[in-house]
Chain A
Amino acid sequence: MKQELLDQIIKEHHREAYFWSRQCCNFDDDLAKDVLQQVYLKIWEEKAKFNAEAKVKTWLFSVIRFTALEWQKKNKKTVPLNADFDLVEPEKIPEATSHEELILMLPDRQKEILLLVFYHQMTLEKASEIMEIGLGTARTHYDRGKKKLKELILKKQHYEATR
């Protein structure tokens, strides 16, 4: 694909790409901006090449996710123990828990798949491509994530009702 055309398409997806970058960076605005800038540099320098088989959005989201993970590894912010296992058990729902805080209580993979499917309106198949996992694994994370998030929402609602 020609660089100008790719540029144009990326420009169209810029806002959504920024939100995905923000979500991959645990809703840290400054970090999200840096990661997105790095992603664009990778594309302009042709370090990240577009594979015509994938859709531009899927590919762009995949590069963003990879770059954010790379960044977190460099800064040693991630200890991905909870990525595949449900070790995180949120014990308390704080008084003013925002939507973002509730999402952050989920294990990484569950958080990512729910955001891709519910927030970015993607199919499970596309989400699994972005996350570089099999469809079966994606489905498992999706089901577990939904269950866990529902529990958290219920806890929050219960807390607000009894306050």
Chain B
Amino acid sequence: MKLQDDIADEELEMFFSELRNKDKKIITPPYSKKTPFKIWKLIPIGIAASLFLGIWVLNQEKEESQLYQDMIIISLIEGEDDEQKFIIEHTSSMDVWESPTASLLDTY
């Protein structure tokens, strides 16, 4: 019985040996070491970038925005003797200009 088993095993050995011979023709993909991408390595860079951005935003001074070119403001003002006069002013910033009708908002 044991002998029969051994003979049958030889048959299996032959079967797998044939398979191995067939596999010899298969081209194995090359072994290439790819360095794994480690996301935690980006954490210090992220922190540094955030700090830099924060400092830059905080250090920014508010610049007074200048007009594209000097502006001429012509106002019509009524004098004491009911005479109306034109007052011509030059300005480079809108901050100094006040609408001549602005007082109406307070009065009425």
Contact = CB atoms under 8 A, between A and B. Distances in A.
B12 A100 contact: no
B31 A118 contact: no
Interface stretch (A13-21, A59-67, A72-80, A132-140): A13-21
Contact of B35 (A15, A44, A100, A115): A44
A37 B19 CA distance: 24
Given A7-B33, A19-B23, A45-B36, A99 B15 contact: yes
B36 A118 contact: no
Interface of A: 7, 10-11, 14-15, 18-19, 22, 29, 33, 36-37, 40-41, 44-45, 99-100, 102-103, 114-115, 118-119, 146, 149-150, 153
Given A18-B28, A118-B15, A119-B20, 19 more contacts: A11-B31, A14-B28, A14-B31, A19-B23, A22-B26, A29-B26, A36-B29, A37-B34, A40-B33, A41-B34, A45-B38, A99-B18, A114-B12, A119-B16, A119-B19, A146-B9, A146-B12, A149-B15, A153-B11
